[in-house]
Amino acid sequence: MISRRLQAILDINKQSYDQVWDTCCDHGYLGEAYLQRNQAQIVHFVDRVPALMTQIEHRLNALDLSNIDGIASNSVNSNEHISWQVHCLDVKELEFASEQKHLVVVAGVGGDLCADIVEAIMKKNHAENIDWVFCPVHKHETLRKKLIRLGLNVVNESLVKDKGRIYEVIHVNQSDNTPASVIGQQIWHDNPELASEYLTQKIAHFERKANSSESDVITILAQLKAVADLLRYNS
């Protein structure tokens, strides 16, 4: 069974795409779930570790996808209904078919790498055709600042707790109209109990860094404390 974190990533966006890219895919469970639920004509698995890609290729070849309908018949693999492709390369090198609608998922890596990936891909491709789902393991603010700089807007964002750890899941694109923010907005309101637990962790984290030379720590701390006051006021 898929983890709560991976399920939350899948649940944040159920739209159909021409192509879905499970980047930094490692085990490839996310891409496999997109395949199983028929969310795209082609699902791509991308990682830079060759041994991982070989394992995924073997697993996908053994997968019976024949009971999933409605997908284009231009399969690049043995299965008649579903297309998938495996790519062993640096995600930042990806180039997309410009006339198609893409979903790029980046999960399980730091916010700094997510930020580098989104910037590199947006430079090389038609950004208006790309939706993004991020689930960084840390440095969320680094990613969110990059999203603001790149003019990406938030479609949806959520929190999920998995094996004792809380994660942010962020769905963005160029066409929605809620600008990204450094600490997030919707994540603090959907599940007040989880939001309050996460807020306590974040405030403690930034308080520990308050004397560091890192820019923005004091501003972020003040913003988090303002959200904490609001949550207390509303409860």
Residues that bind ligand SAM (CB under 6 A): 24-26, 46-49, 52, 90-92, 107-109, 113
Of 3 and 201, which has the nearer Cβ to ligand SAM? 3
CB of 120 to ligand SAM, least distance (A): 9
Using a 10 angstrom Cβ sphere, with 0-12 exposed, 13-18 middle and 19 or more buried, the burial of residue 56 is buried
Whole-angstrom distance, CA of residue 62 vs CA of residue 71: 19
CB of 118 to ligand SAM, least distance (A): 12
CB of 83 to ligand SAM, least distance (A): 20
Of 105 and 221, which has the nearer Cβ to ligand SAM? 105
Of 47 and 131, which has the nearer Cβ to ligand SAM? 47
CB of 47 to ligand SAM, least distance (A): 4
CB of 51 to ligand SAM, least distance (A): 10
Residue 19 neighbours by CB distance under 10 Å? 20
End-to-end CA distance of the chain: 35
Give the CA angle between residues 29, 132, 158 to the nearest 5°. Answer: 80
Of 107 and 159, which has the nearer Cβ to ligand SAM? 107
Q: Of all residues in this chain, which one has the CB nearest to ligand SAM in the complex?
A: 108
CB of 214 to ligand SAM, least distance (A): 23
Of 133 and 180, which has the nearer Cβ to ligand SAM? 133
Token pair listed for 211:
């004397």
Beta strands at 153-162 and 102-107: parallel, antiparallel or unpaired: unpaired
Beta strands at 153-162 and 165-173: parallel, antiparallel or unpaired: antiparallel
Angle between helices 50-62 and 29-36 (to 10 degrees): 30
Instruction: Provide the strand spans (E) within the chain.
Output: 17-23, 40-47, 83-88, 102-107, 130-135, 153-162, 165-173
Of 48 and 161, which has the nearer Cβ to ligand SAM? 48
